[in-house]
Structures are given as structure tokens and as C-alpha cells.
Amino acid sequence: MADRNQWILHIKELREQSGVGIFEAEQLALAEPHWRRWVERQINSDERCRRMALNHIRYNGDAALIERRGDTLIVR
């Protein structure tokens, strides 16, 4: 849970610093190798994160930052 809170705080900080929306802040965060690896690990090991990632894919379609390859979710 603490890791998830760090992600949320990081996104909030990016939004404040860059003046962007949530989607754009997530794009910025996922450009950082540390966060990219962390997100891939979370969406494939934490059921709650996986559900959120699948909802992200459904909501954003082709613009989604995550894609499904078989049973594995990866960051694009």
C-alpha cells in the first residue's frame, strides 16, 4: 500500500510541477525507468493494480499507456 501511495504522490507532484492532467503526468512518470519497472511489476503481481490497469486499457483504448500481451500487462 505504501508503494501505491508513493505513485499517487508522484503523479500529484508531476501535475503540480508541469501543469498537466493525470494522463499526461502518468506519461511523464512512465518515461522514468524506475517507475516504469515498478508499474509493470505492480500490474502483474497486485490484483488491485491489475484491475486498475485493465480499466485504464478499456477507458483509453488505443491511447492506453498499458497493453495486454496474453496474461501479461506491459507499459508501452
Report how many domains make up the chain: 1
Domain that includes residue 22, residue range: 2-75
Residue 43 near residue 65, CB atoms below 8 Å: no
Distance between CA 64 and CA 49 in Å, rounded? 15
* Residue pLDDT, tens place only, 13-36: 999 999 999 999 999 999 999 999
**Side chain identity at residue 2, one-letter code:** A
* Residue pLDDT, tens place only, 36-63: 999 999 999 999 999 999 999 999 999 9
Distance between CA 13 and CA 5 in Å, rounded? 12
Tell if the pTM clears 0.85, that is, is over it: no
Give Cβ neighbours of residue 21 (< 8 Å, ≥ 6 apart).
15
